[in-house]
Each structure stands twice: as C-alpha cells, then as structure tokens.
Structure 1
Amino acid sequence: MLRLRSFIAARLLSSTSAAAISPLHRLLSAAARAPAVSPNPSFTVEQYLVETCGLTRAQALKASVKLSRLKSPSKPDAVLAFLAGLGLSRDAVAAAVAKDPQLLCASVERTLTPNVAKLISLGMSRSEVARLVSIGCDRFRTRSVVSKVQYYLPIFGSFENLLRIVERNSYLLTSNVERVVKPNVAFLQKCGLGACDIANLCLSQSRLLTANLERLGAMVACAEGLGVPRGSGMFKHALHAVGFHSEENIAAKVDNLKKTLMWSDAEVGIAVSRNPHVLRKSKDMLQRRSDFLISEVGLQPTYIAHRPVMLGLSLEGRLRPRYYVVKFLKDNGLLMRDPSYYTVVTLTEKAFMERFICPHKEAAPHLSEDYAAACNGEMPTNFRFV
C-alpha cells in the first residue's frame, strides 16, 4: 500500500491534468485520513525526497534533517497529490519541498484545501494560487496566509502586483501585519502616498512594508534632506531613488554628480528635486553624458541641472543623433530659428520628424536616412547634403 501511494504520487507529479488528478486526489486524501500506518522499515526520507519529490541528493540530505519524525509516505503522498492537482509541475514541487521540507507534513484536509478554497473565494485563480504556493510555501501551510493576502490586495491593486512583490520579498507573508506592516503603511500614507504609490514603490523597494519603522523614517528623512519634501509630486520618486542606501552611499552619489557634471551643491539640489532618479545613474553613464553635453554640445552645467531629464535620455538613440541633425540644418542655413537643445531632445519621435526631418526632404534628401543610421549607432562622419 505504501509503495502504491508513492507510485501514484510520483505519477501525479509527472502530469498536471486536473481531470486525471481529481479522483486520485480524493483517494489519497482519504488515505491520509485513514488510521495511522505503522512505520515502514523500508521507508527512508532521503530516498523518498529524491525518487518521489525530485530533489537532488544534496537537497534531500539537507531537507531530511527537518523531516526526522516522518516514518511513512502517507502524509507526503497526499501533499504531493494535492500540489500536482493544483497545477504545480514536478520541478516546481521539487523547488517548494527543497525550500520548505515541512510542507510535506502539512494537513491537506485541515489546512491546504481550506486555504485554496478561501483564496479562490477572494478572486484568485488556481494558477495564481499555485504561484503563491511556489513563492511562499512555508507560509501557505499556515492559515494566516489568507488574511494577509486579503489585507495586501487593496494596497497592491491586483493579484499580479501582489505576486510580483511577494516574489521579491516573501517576508510579506511572514511579517506581522499588525505590528510591522500596518504602521509602515500608515506612515507612508501620512507622507502623502496613496495605495498606488506604495504598490509601485514596493515593486522596486520590496522591503518597504517589512522594514523597521525607524529605517523607513530615515529613508524619508534622506529624501527630504535632498530637497524633495513629503507631499510633493517627486517625493515617491525620491524614495525610489534613495531606497535603503546608507547616508554614506547617498553622499558618495551626490559627490559624484558634483564632480562629473561640475555642479554646485545648489545645482545638485535643483537637479535632484526635479528628477531624483539622477541619483541612480552610474558613474560611467553620467561621465559619457557629461562629456557629450558639456564638452561637445557646449551646454552649461547649470542648464543641465535645471533640465536633469536629459541625463536619462539615450545618448546613442536620441541625444547625439538629434544634435547632429539640428547642427547639420543650422550649418546649411535650413533653420529659420535656433531651437533650444532641451526642446529638440524632449520632442516625441513623431514631432521631431515632422519639425526637423520632413520639411527638408528636397533640400536634404538623405537626412532621414542618415538620422535613422545615427539612431542605430552608425553615426556618419558628416550628414550628407546632396
């Protein structure tokens, strides 16, 4: 009988067909509720983990330590059948068991099945539930997972957002909602952030709701110290930019901005308040843009500081090609007025074509072709006039 259960469980894991699994799942669930089976001398946890669950020998050896009391495959067979019926592949089951071996000891009847039913009643699909099991298998075997999903859903806006965020920080399913998460949410809301802002921040700063409240306060203070007050439109972007970096790290980023772009403290403050994401730019990226914008285009550092969005635009795909188009037109007397460089690079592609390319098809028939080549990194030495 024990070998039969193990055989059936292994076969279930090789197929995720719900139609085929359902009657066998009921059979195995019934077996799990049957009187306890006496220990099987031939049953070894490590062998079961390898042959039935698909773990490697190394994984099985590590996992078996947490399953020392397991003397029979009865309960794990029922769990494996349940997971297969939910739609998890053999590889996904192996990953879940390796992550949380005690999942094999969970009660299908008292915990797993009720949790699935309640999550589906909240609107989750079976595939979403299966994904949640894969992410937070250690929490899925506790009943609190349902109430936590129910709490997070209005904040994150959708199950997809919830799952994406939990994938980045599974501690959301283990943290105490009352003592940790709710105070953090309340604090962020007092700072002027709505549910959508919090959800978007959590996608990039996954520890936002599980961090120590003091650490969260330090993060807010850092953003304000850079000249971005709470409640302002840029505040959420400033929180994203500073993240959980130390004061020393942020100071180093500010110092790099000053050196690379020749900015004063005041100009750094202006740039960061208008586009906090400049703090996230790498040294190499900033240096290449500084070399081009200041040394080649001839822009003044203060001009760039007041228009920091330029630093986030593609050097090869926008900043350089458009500069050479306008330079070509000016050098050949084809522009009536001299547009600002900021206007040139912030126009949509359609607007740029209509304003600077299309009107000059006759005078400069190769301009469109040369511009396209430049955007693809094939910068010609000179744009052709004829």
Structure 2
Amino acid sequence: MLRLRLRESVVSRLLSSPFTSTSAISPLLRLLSASASASASAAPSTFAVEEYLVDTCGLTRPQALKASKKLSHLKSPANPDAVLAFLAGLGLSGADAAAVVAKDPLFLCAKVERTLVPVVDGLTGLGLSRSEIGGLVSLVHNRFRCRSIVSKMQYYLPLFGSLDNLLRMLQRSSYLLSSDLDKVVRPNVVFLRECGLGDCDIAKLCIPVPRILITNPERIRAMVACAERLGVPRGSRMLRHALQAVAFLNEDKIAAKVDYLKNTFRWYDAEACIAVRKYPGVLRKSKESLKHRSEFLCSKVGLEPVYIAHRSEILSYSMVGRLRPRYYVIKFLKQNGLLACDLSLYSAIKMTDKVFVEKLICPHKEAAPHLAEDYAAACKGEVPTNFRF
C-alpha cells in the first residue's frame, strides 16, 4: 500500500508539471492502474467505497454516503485512483477534486485513456491551457465525461468571443454542453442573426439568460414576435433588450406588467408603448421598485409622466447609487446659485460617475467644501445633514 501511495504521488507531480506532455500521460496512468490493480488483487475482495470517498477523495461523511450509492458497482480503487491522478495533473487541488466527485460521483468511473485524455487533447487543440481545462472540469464535471464537449466548445468559443464569456454562461447553465447543436442551438443562432443580432449581441443576450439559446426554436420565434408587438422590430438596437425582458414570460404576465406601468406612472396606452420601446427592461422591474421610482420622480422631483415615458431609461438607474444623490447635488447647487446652466436631472443621471464628479463636484471645492463628502454619503443611502435644502 505504501508503494502504491508513493507511485500515486510521483504520477500526480509529473502530471501537474507544465513540462509533462499529454502524450506522456497514458504510460503514467497505465503504471498507476497496474499498481492499483495489483494492490486490489492482493487486498480483500470487498472495496469500501464510502471509506475511500472520505479517506482518499476528501468528501465529508454525508457526501460520501450519498455518493457511494452511485458507486456500489466499484470493486477496486484502480480507476478512481487513475481519475484522481488525472485531475491532479490538470491542477485541481484535493478540495477541487472532492467538489467534482461530490457533484458527479460517476466521474470516478470515467475511462481516463479512452475518454478524458482525448478530451484534454481536443481542448488543448482549441487553445485552452491545462489550468483552463481544469477550471472547466470544476464547472461542468459530468459534461466533461462526454467527448462531444470538444466539438461543442469549438462551436461556442467563436460565437461568444472568449472563453471568459463562455464560462460565464456555463456558470449559469451547463446544459449548453448537452443541448443538440444541429437541432436546437444552430437554428436559434441562425434565426437571431436573421433578426439583425450579431454574435456579440447574441452573447450579451444569452449570458444572463442562457436558456434562450437552448430553448425550442419555435419559442425563440414567439419571443421575437412578442417583442415586435411591443414596438421593438427586428433589426432594432433594442431587440436584444426586449428579448431579455420577455424571455419565458407569457402574454398575460406581460399585459399585467404594462397595466401596472400605466397605473403607476399615469401613462396612456401610447405613452406606455413609448416607455417599453425605449427601455424594454422596465418589464423586468419589480412592482416595488417601479412604485418607489414613481413616487420619487413624479412626487419628489416633479417630472411629468409623458417626460418620463420618453426618457424611460431613467427607470433603469439605482435609486440609492444614482437617482437620489444626484438629485440632492443638483438641488443644492441650484439653491445656492452654483449651477451656471439649467441642467436637467436626466442629463446628470446619464453622466458617468467620473464625469459627474468632475463637472458638478470638483468645481465647487471652495464654495461647498463638504459637497464631495456629502455626495459620497448620499451614494451609500444616507441623507447628509449639511446638504442645505
């Protein structure tokens, strides 16, 4: 047993070395498998899976108990040892490997030379480093056990522009790697392109809502038709935002949200249509959020409903971090004769924070020495006492 542990340690170190090529992995794994098989033949025939998961894989006892039910067919540690050595070779720590096994116990049954090594070779050919491949294993675990992952990664990488973008999607839904490319994904991409969305737009559309790409193609067409009924046609720069807003919402829910907008902001049908067309994301705002914005913009600031409808993007900004503090600053400057022009709140809100500070805070350091401090406090949700209203 001591010899086996020593060989495992040596193989793991060799696998994790940047100087060890993929072609050198197979002989090392065969050595490990042979050693493990010999050890298994000399040991009692009963393989204590649960103990192995705790002692060797590092799972907690409850995790091991749950995982062992899927591994009851294992008769020796030969293949699991080879898999653990393989994971170590990709740079996964003991804790990382334990997390993979806890999520996907059957990973220990994967055939290293027949499946895992070819997958690594394929992904390396796509330009992924060994550490990036290790991160992918931790993210998708069971999907990594399918050799089709290589062809799917080959399709997705150029579509989403970078590995980082693809990983962000996979963090939300690893089903991308199990969906049918030819029957589902490709037809959806082709249709979205026909609607005027470029690959960059498709990536931005799908990163927050990955299900859009893997849903039934007929459902995608229904989403586009819904966006068109809301006044956002194909080819519009707002189509991506509209699709995100209506994704997986039925007509009744959308109609109910439009009715709520009309009642909350005192909009007529035409004004509600304008607001949604200019800022489709308003449909995703919670009722509480919309109510607070209406009370602030209409009652506190005094903006007219039609003005808000034509500038509905204003509803996208944070009440605490943007709307209130900038309103406080503009009101303070106007009341103290420090604002040279008649700057609207909407114009001030659209400025980046850097530009806002440069144009409206910094020029008044002498006349209003506490303004920067008060503005920073207001951005944290406080209403400073030395704002003079």
Alignment of 1:164-179 (within 5 A): 164-179=168-183
The Cα shift of 1:369 comes to 5.3
Task: State whether structure 2 residue 30 is matched by structure 1 residue 29.
Answer: yes
The Cα shift of 1:379 comes to 2.6
User: For residues 283 and 85 of structure 1, do their structure 2 counterparts lie closer, same or farther at Cα, with a shift above 3 Å needed?
Assistant: same
TM-score, normalised to structure 1, is 0.86
TM-score, normalised to structure 2, is 0.86
The match for 1:327 among 323, 326, 331 is 331
Task: State whether structure 2 residue 188 is matched by structure 1 residue 184.
Answer: yes
CA distance in 1, matches of 2:139, 2:330: 52
CA distance in 1, matches of 2:66, 2:365: 71
Aligned to 1:114: 118
The match for 2:301 among 297, 302, 306 is 297
The Cα shift of 1:31 comes to 4.0
What is the CA deviation profile of residues 194-238 of structure 1, one whole-angstrom value per residue up to 9, with x for unaligned ones?
111111122101112211112222222222222111210000011
SS of 2:69's partner is helix
Aligned to 1:246: 250
Contact 2:152 2:177 in 1 (8 A): yes
Aligned to 1:79: 83
The Cα shift of 1:157 comes to 1.0
The Cα shift of 1:75 comes to 1.4
Aligned to 1:66: 70
Task: State whether structure 2 residue 16 is matched by structure 1 residue 18.
Answer: yes
The Cα shift of 1:127 comes to 1.2
CA distance in 2, matches of 1:21, 1:107: 24
The Cα shift of 1:371 comes to 4.4
User: For residues 176 and 4 of structure 1, do their structure 2 counterparts lie closer, same or farther at Cα, with a shift above 3 Å needed?
Assistant: farther
Q: Which stretches in structure 2 are left out of the alignment for 5+ residues?
A: none
The match for 1:308 among 309, 312, 315 is 312
Alignment root-mean-square deviation, CA: 3.2
SS of 2:117's partner is helix
Farther-moved stretch of structure 1 (337-346 vs 116-125):
337-346
Contact 1:258 1:268 in 2 (8 A): yes
CA distance in 2, matches of 1:132, 1:363: 56
User: For residues 232 and 16 of structure 1, do their structure 2 counterparts lie closer, same or farther at Cα, with a shift above 3 Å needed?
Assistant: farther
User: For residues 245 and 16 of structure 1, do their structure 2 counterparts lie closer, same or farther at Cα, with a shift above 3 Å needed?
Assistant: farther
CA distance in 2, matches of 1:329, 1:281: 31
Q: For this pair of structures, how many residues does the alignment match?
A: 383
SS of 2:302's partner is coil
Contact 1:6 1:73 in 2 (8 A): no
SS of 1:292's partner is helix
What is the CA deviation profile of residues 222-259 of structure 1, one whole-angstrom value per residue up to 9, with x for unaligned ones?
22222111210000011122222233332332222222
Aligned to 1:161: 165
What is the CA deviation profile of residues 295-335 of structure 1, one whole-angstrom value per residue up to 9, with x for unaligned ones?
12111111101001211223334333333444344445555
User: For residues 284 and 83 of structure 1, do their structure 2 counterparts lie closer, same or farther at Cα, with a shift above 3 Å needed?
Assistant: same
Contact 2:262 2:268 in 1 (8 A): yes
Contact 1:219 1:239 in 2 (8 A): yes
Q: Which stretches in structure 1 are left out of the alignment for 5+ residues?
A: none
The match for 1:347 among 329, 345, 351 is 351
Farther-moved stretch of structure 1 (29-38 vs 83-92):
29-38
CA distance in 2, matches of 1:55, 1:49: 6
User: For residues 60 and 347 of structure 1, do their structure 2 counterparts lie closer, same or farther at Cα, with a shift above 3 Å needed?
Assistant: closer
